């Protein structure tokens, strides 16, 4: 059974940093691209970032480019999101999601999702 | 940047058909996925690559995609289908989600 368990969320002041983790199990982690998707309170889904399996190519939404860094440790079956220079508008539940493919692309879709971790950015 | 537009809400009587549209430039040239999100829960994939249903998703869910519009159709809508629905596509090395549609069964 595929399981994705996010952690690391919490309360942080504007300008601060936070690192989210997503522990994966039930599948061959290194063989799949992984993604972060967020949802601000009462709002819709927003794709944040993706990382390929094997070659670790990375992709970012314009809203987080230069502030967030996605990474993965295949030896630990864990996905990360390092978030720096946080803003109030980054407040959201952050989900990790498994892509069906090794590399994100036109045939991709998100097969499994975690339960999410809440990040609150406020002074 | 690429945008996917959905109607904010759709209402449907129980047992009837709900159609949720997703509009984007030349969307028919791309694959579209659809996700259901019930209140307080994580999203669930209900349609992928325009028309395919994952295992465990009821047959009453179907999808189509042509021109500038993709459509998720729920035939014989049930109370448990009440949820938010989001379309998704890939464009210029970015994923894009639609604006979301709240389906109310009344």
Checking DSSP bridges between strand B101-105 and strand B9-12, what pairing results, if any? Answer: parallel
State phi, psi for A90 to the nearest 5 degrees: -85, -5
CA distance A27 to chain B (A): 17
Q: What percent of chain B clears pLDDT 90, i.e. is strictly above it?
A: 100
Tell me A83's DSSP state: E
Query: Token pair 């729920």 is at which residue?
Result: B74
In this structure, are residues A9 and A121 in contact, taking their beta carbons and an 8 Å threshold? no
Q: Percent of chain A having pLDDT more than 70?
A: 100
- Choose the closest CB to A45 out of B30, B93, B97: B97
- For B5-14, how does the pLDDT look when each residue is reduced to its tens digit (9 = 90+)? 999 999 999 9
Contact status, residue A6 vs residue A114, Cβ threshold 8 Å? yes
Residue A55 pLDDT exceeds 90: no
3-state SS class at A85: coil
**How confident is the model at residue B94, as a pLDDT?**
95
Rounded CA separation B106/A45 (Å): 25
d(CA B64, CA B47): 10
| Chain B residues lying within 8 Å of A111, measured CB to CB | 45, 54
In degrees to the nearest 10, what's the CA dihedral of B57, B62, B66, B70?
A: -70
Q: Under a CB-based contact definition with an 8 Å cutoff, are residues B99 and B24 in contact?
A: no
Q: Do B100 and A44 touch (CB under 8 A)?
A: yes
Tell whether B57 is within 8 A of chain A (Cβ).
no
CA B79 → CA B35, B40, B83, B102, distances in Å? 17, 16, 9, 13
**Which residues in chain A touch residue B44, judged by CB atoms under 8 angstroms apart?**
113
Q: Which residues pair with A46 in a beta bridge?
A: A38
**Per-residue pLDDT tens for B44-81?**
999 999 999 999 999 999 999 999 999 999 999 999 99
Q: How far is Cα A55 from Cα B17, in angstroms, rounded to an integer? A: 44
Please tell me the distance in Å from A105's CA to the nearest CA on chain B: 6
Residues of A in contact with B97 (CB under 8 A): 37, 44-47
């Amino acid at each position: 059974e595929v399981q994705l368990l996010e952690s690391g969320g919490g309360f942080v002041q504007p300008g601060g940093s936070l690192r989210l983790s997503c522990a994966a199990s039930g599948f061959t982690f290194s063989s799949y691209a992984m993604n972060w998707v967020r949802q601000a309170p009462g709002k819709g889904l927003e794709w944040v970032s993706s990382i390929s399996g094997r070659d670790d190519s990375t992709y970012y939404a314009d809203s987080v480019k230069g502030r967030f860094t996605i990474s993965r440790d295949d030896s630990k079956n864990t996905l990360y999101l390092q978030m720096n220079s946080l803003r109030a508008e980054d407040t959201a539940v952050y989900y990790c999601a498994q892509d069906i493919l090794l590399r994100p692309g036109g045939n991709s879709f998100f097969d499994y999702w975690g339960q999410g971790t809440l990040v609150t950015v406020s002074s | 940047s690429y945008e996917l537009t959905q109607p904010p809400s759709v209402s449907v009587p129980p047992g009837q058909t709900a159609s949720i549209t997703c509009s984007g430039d030349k969307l028919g040239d791309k694959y579209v996925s659809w996700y259901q999100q019930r209140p307080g829960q994580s999203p669930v994939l209900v349609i992928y690559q325009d028309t395919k249903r994952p295992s465990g998703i009821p047959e009453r869910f179907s999808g189509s995609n042509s021109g500038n519009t993709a459509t998720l159709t729920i035939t014989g809508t049930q109370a448990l289908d009440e949820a938010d629905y989001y379309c998704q596509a890939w464009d210029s090395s970015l994923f894009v989600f639609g604006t979301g549609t709240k389906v109310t069964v009344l």
